[in-house]
Amino acid sequence: MKGRIRLLLADDHPVVRDGLRGMLSSEPDVEVVGEAANGEELLRLVERIQADVALVDLRMPVMDGVTAIGLIRERRPEMGVLVLTTYDTDADIRRAVEAGATGYILKDAPRDELYRAIRATAEGQSHLSPAVAARLMHRVREPGEEALSGREIEVLNLVAQGMANKEIARKLHLSEATVKTHLIHVFAKLGAADRTHAVTLAAQRGIIRLEG
């Protein structure tokens, strides 16, 4: 992505927003262009301000993060939505991903991980915190849980070939949002944090074969 990443912050705690804004201001390629204390305020910002990424907490008053994420995906499908929260239960993660979140990390993550996640989201990629990926991996490994679907393997094979989400969407006649959702499910099932990690793990387990 060229230029600065225009970011919206949504968290009901002013101290958290102040801390994030101060921390992110040290990054030359990130600019906080709006702040919201709840989901309704975030949606108003999304309508008024052209932004690349929304950094969203899950538990907020008036309108929670999950509801806001779903509405953002309807109104601005090109915008990346990265969840930053203290909540890591299976239900929280699943609801956020199903609503359309393109990434999910925890507030105790190292700041370098947050920076990587923001940049990945701005590039249209997905990112799961290693702790979140590990939790989901444990869940999908329980008896009766399914492995990667045929479509998920198809998407991952194209990732391994170096294709971007837009190219994969065009080739498979899918929307970019659908490709991102498939990748989030792949990350969860493999316990991967990002695209490269997912390809490596899938190759090691014989799910896909790498050329060359």
> First-to-last CA distance in the chain?
29
Q: What is the pTM of this model?
A: 0.69
Question: Which of residues 118 and 2 earns the better pLDDT score?
Answer: 118
Residue 10 near residue 36, CB atoms below 8 Å? yes
Tally Cβ neighbours within 10 Å of residue 88: 18
Residues facing 7 on adjacent strands = 32, 53
Of 187, 185, 184, 155, residue with least CA distance to 172: 155
Q: How many residues does the chain have?
A: 212
Q: What is the pLDDT of residue 143?
A: 39
Residues facing 30 on adjacent strands = 5
The domains found in the chain, sorted by start residue, are: 5-124 (3.40.50.2300), 138-204 (1.10.10.10)
Quick: pLDDT tens for 23-56: 998 999 999 999 999 999 999 999 999 999 999 9
Angle at 131 between CA 125 and CA 134, to 5 degrees: 90
Residue 54 near residue 32, CB atoms below 8 Å? no
Q: Which two tokens stand for residue 62?
A: 């008036």
* Secondary structure, 3-state, 57-90: CCCCCCCCHHHHHHHHHHHCCCCEEEEEECCCCH
Estimate to the nearest angstrom the gap between the alpha carbon of 2 and the chain centroid: 20
Residues facing 103 on adjacent strands = 82, 127
Quick: pLDDT tens for 117-174: 999 999 988 888 877 776 665 554 543 445 788 889 899 999 999 999 999 999 999 8
